[in-house]
Amino acid sequence: MPALKTSQEVIQATGVAGLADYYDVIPLLDAAGFTVKRRYPLGSVAAQVVKPNGAPASACFIAIAVEPPQNPNGVSRVGGEAGLYDFPRRG
């Protein structure tokens, strides 16, 4: 597989844009990677926390970045983070 050099290449290689529970895919501007939100599984405790209208009150926020290889035939380092995204409350 060739080195992934752009955020769009990383998004395409992971296939995240086509996954049903993942949404709001945003390409990174300063690295090859993206952020995305994922709904918590329906049976989980986090999924039980909802807004008054029944919509989820939070989601899992995921960030993936791919570093350029250190040499032409090298392997790229992939970094990732995940955490709770608490939807903003509206007045």
Q: What is the pLDDT along the chain (91 residues), one digit of tens a residue?
A: 678 889 999 999 999 999 988 999 999 999 999 999 998 888 888 888 888 888 888 889 999 999 888 877 777 889 999 988 877 665 4
**Alpha-carbon span 42 to 25, nearest angstrom:** 21
The SS3 of residue 78 is strand
User: In sequence order, what are the beta bridge partners of 36?
Assistant: 62
The SS3 of residue 72 is coil
The SS3 of residue 28 is coil
Whether the Cβ atoms of residue 62 and residue 80 lie closer than 8 Å to each other: yes
| Domain residue spans of the chain | 7-86
